[in-house]
Structure 1
Amino acid sequence: MEADTGRRYRLYPTGEQAQQLTSWGHTCRWLYNTALEQRQFAWRQRKVTLGYSAQCAFLTEARRELDWVAGLPAQSGQQVLRHLDQAYRNWWDPRHPAGPPTRKRKSSRLSVPFPGQAISVRRLNRRWGAVKLPKIGEVKFRWSRSLGGVIRNAVVSFDGTAWHVGFGIHAGITKPKTHARPDTVVGVDRGVTIALAMSDERLWNRTFTSPGQERTLARLKSKAGRQETARRQLGAATSNRARRVRAQIARIEAKVRHRRGDFVAWAANRLCGRYAIVKIERLDIHAMTTTAKGTIEEPGINVRQKAGLNRAILDKGWGLFHTALDNRARFTGTRIGRVPAAYTSQRCNHCGFTHRNNRESQAVFWCRSCGYQAHADVNAAINIRDAAEVAPPYTGRAVRDRNRKASCRPPTQRRPQPALETGISRIL
């Protein structure tokens, strides 16, 4: 049985438990990065592709030689190696959008994975539950909803402000063959001023940061930048005051992130519940939000304007909305259609006349041919609704990602491979 849905709960570890989980999170990050470098080194030097089984043997040796690695539950270390192996399989799959695996940064979210058989969950009362973790014991979490299935795996994570536990659940979910309203179609245009505009003239938008939070966040980031500059000039360690400033920034950004996640989940739930087909533009958001700084020899142009556009796109959660739609469509039978994005904002949905002057601003569309006037985003949503769908997305993108310069290439054929030298000191 594989996990087909998930549940996430707020975790409340004690001080000692939180310290232990933090240490394990850093160990998992080190293990992932070390295993990634080992696979890259093996491919560059010997054209050998290490797999999960071979790296598990190196993990066993590392646990014998390093006490802080042995402190991590063996099941968690094996789960980390499984995640890396899955990341490579995704990269090699031409139908998958993933690129080559990359290192986990120190600033990344701490997470400790566990297989389902290594944990157990029991309900304490109407509001609380407890999950039993290896080497830690029971940790309380807020029982905000029922599990609704069999636990297949779990991940304990820290997002900078609070601990959470997520369970992969096998609930036996099957996508309905038909939607409850099979003949309904809607086009959705994602914008930087209005988050979502529908072809039925509805506009959904939400501000995730208040003016006061924006001022506070700007002040704290400026202060953190001055502290970091002083630390580098003096060659000193990070002070407790600097850590407190970073914690304040993390708390504000977590609130903004949660509001954004709530909005996209709310929007996806209503769209998939009302429409059998939801059409959106096929956009490469990663490429659209890439920096335009360039190099010293060839500096970019309009760098500040491009940075502002990048922030606006990421703030509205375009990619999160796409993911939320796909997830919710599994429960309602909705089909998510992707259409070409070219000229949807410049084409008149009445006469078909296309010109860049048709869109006077972010909010006003005025056709220079027939005189039709409407909200610019609504006009674009109608064009999206009427456009023909294209092939499944990301097929070409995955091939391009595989052709990017990477330090570990996928093998062209499978053949018996010589074993590498053993010894944790010779992994890298």
Structure 2
Amino acid sequence: MKVDVGRRYRLYPSQGQAERLISWGHTCRWLYNTALEQRQFAWQQRKITLGVTAQCAFLTEARKDFDWVADLPAQSGQQVLRQLDQAYRNWWDPRHPAGPPTRKRKSARLSVPFPGQAIAVRRVNRRWGVVNLPKIGDVKFRWSRPLGGVVRNAVVSFDGVAWHVGFGVHAGVKTPEVHARPGMVVGVDRGVKVAVAMSDGRMWNRTFVSPGQERELARLKSKAGRQETARRKRGATTSNRARKIRAEIARTEAKARNRRRDFVMWAANRLCGQHATIKLERLGVKAMTATARGTIAEPGISVAAKAGLNRAVLDKGWGLFEAALANRARTTGTRIVKVPAAFTSQRCSRCGNTDRNNRESQAMFRCGSCGYQANADVNAAINVRDAAEAPSPLTGRAVRDRSRKASCRPPTQRRQRTALETGISRR
């Protein structure tokens, strides 16, 4: 049985349980980074592709030598290695947009995975449930919705504000062949002023961080920067005051992420429930939000303006919204269509005149040919709705990934002595 839906609940561990989960979260991050370095070393030095089976054997050896590694449940460590193996398979798949696996940096966000057979879930009453975790015991969580199926795995996570437990559930969800409202087509434009604008004139937006919170966050980051500079000059360890400032920054950013996630899920749920076809611009959000800083030899142009645009794009959650639409469309039968993004914001949806001067600002569109006036995002959404579907050829990265995929899979895998067996340092 495969996981087809996810369920996320607020978790309420005791102080002792939370401290142990924090330790496990850092161990999982160390294990992922060390296993990644091990695979990179094996390939660069000996042209060997390590798999999850060989790395699990190395993990068993490491658990014998280090008590803090042995404290992590063995099933959780194996799940971390499987996650890394899946990241490599996604990278090698030319149809998958994922890039090469990267290290997980140290932050306030922690996660500990568990397989389904290692945990037990039961409902206590109408409001509360209990999940039994290895080496920890029962931890209560808020039963905010039914599970609706068989639990296949679980992830305990901390986002800087609170603990959560997410269950991967097999609920037997099947995509409907026909949408409940066939024939309903809508174009959607993602903007920086208005998060989501539809071709029928509706506009949805939400502020995730208030002006006061932005000022407070800027103050805290400035103070954290001064503390870090002073710490480096003295060569001292991080003080308790600095840790408190970092924790406050993490809490503020986590609240903004939660509001953003709530908004995009809300918008995706309503759009997919009301329309059989949703048209979006084909946008490379990662490339669009790349820095313009450049190098010392060739410095960038308008770096500050580009940085502000990048922050605005990332704040609206364009990529998260697209993923939420794809996830919700599985249960409603909605068809997600991507169209070319070129000139959708400059073309008049009435007469077809295309001119960069047509868009006077982020909010106003006025056609220089026919005089048509409308909200700039709504006009772009109409153009998206009327555009033809964009082809999806293999990109240059995908072609390279295919050759990399072929070269990274030798016919045999030999066990070699690598980083997990030599010179392990904690975190």
Q: TM-score range by the shorter chain?
A: over 0.9
- Other-structure match for 1:151: 151
Give me the whole-angstrom Cα distance separating, in 1, the residues matched to 2:70 and 2:280: 48
What is residue 420 of structure 1 aligned with on the other side? 416
Q: Does 1:136 align with 2:136?
A: yes
The answer for the alignment partner of 1:184 in structure 2 is 184
Q: Is the 8 A contact 2:37 2:419 kept in 1?
A: no
- Correspondence for 1:267: 267
Q: Which amino acid aligns with 1:5?
A: V
**Per the alignment, do residues 281 and 30 of structure 1 end up closer, same or farther by CA in structure 2, a change over 3 Å counting?**
same
Deviates further, 204-213 or 141-150: 204-213
Instruction: Name the residue aligned to 2:323.
Output: 323
Secondary structure, aligned partner of 1:42:
helix
C-alpha deviations, 1:160-192, integer Å up to 9, x for none? 121111000000000000111110100000000
TM-score (norm 1): 0.95
- Secondary structure at the counterpart of residue 10 of structure 2: strand
* Distance verdict in 2 for CA 1:113–1:14, change over 3 Å: same
Number of aligned residue pairs: give it.
424
**How far did 1:402 drift?**
3.1
2:378 maps to 378
> Which amino acid in the other structure matches residue 273 of structure 2?
G
| TM-fit CA distance, 1:400 | 6.1
What runs of 5+ residues in structure 2 fail to find an aligned partner?
none
Equivalent pair of 2:34/2:419 in contact (CA under 8 Å): no
Residue segments in structure 1 that go unaligned for 5+ positions in a row = none
Structure 1 residues 313-322 or 364-373, which shifts more?
364-373
User: Which whole-Å CA distance do the structure 2 matches of 1:247 and 1:30 have between them?
Assistant: 21
Q: Is the 8 A contact 2:28 2:112 kept in 1?
A: yes
Structure 1 runs, 4 residues or longer, greater than 4 Å off: none
Structure 2 SS opposite 1:352: coil
1:46-93 Cα shifts (integer Å, max 9, x gaps): 111111111111111111111111111110011011001100100000
- 1:237 aligned onto 2:225: no
Residue 396 in 1 paired to residue 395 in 2? yes
Secondary structure at the counterpart of residue 174 of structure 1: coil
Show the 5 A alignment for 1:327-366: 327-366=327-366
Q: In the alignment, which residue of structure 2 is the partner of 1:35?
A: 35
Q: Which residue of 2 aligns with 1:227?
A: 227
> What's the CA shift string for 1:75-132, capped at 9, x where partnerless?
0011011001100100000000001101111126211100000000111111111100
Deviation at 1:427, TM superposition (A): 7.8
Partner Cα distance (2:107, 2:418) in 1:
31
| Identical-residue share of aligned pairs (%) | 73
Residue 214 of structure 1, CA deviation = 1.6
The residue number in structure 1 matching 2:164 is 164
TM-align CA RMSD: 1.8
Give the partner amino acid of 2:211: P
Q: Which digits, 9 at most, give the CA deviation of each residue in 1:338-396, with x for residues without a partner? A: 00100001111112111111111111111112221111111110000000112358x42
User: What amino acid is the match of 1:196?
Assistant: V
Q: How far is 1:12 from its partner?
A: 0.8
Contact 2:187 / 2:382 at 8 angstroms: preserved in 1?
A: yes
Letter in 1 for 2:305: Q
Counterpart AA for 1:419: R
2: distance between equivalents of 1:218 and 1:84? Answer: 35
Report the counterpart of residue 199 of structure 1 in structure 2. Answer: 199
The answer on whether the counterparts of 1:97 and 1:397 sit within 8 Å (CA) in structure 2 is no
Q: 1:401–1:384: structure 2 CA closer, same or farther, 3 Å change rule?
A: farther
* TM-score for both structures, normalised by structure 2: 0.96
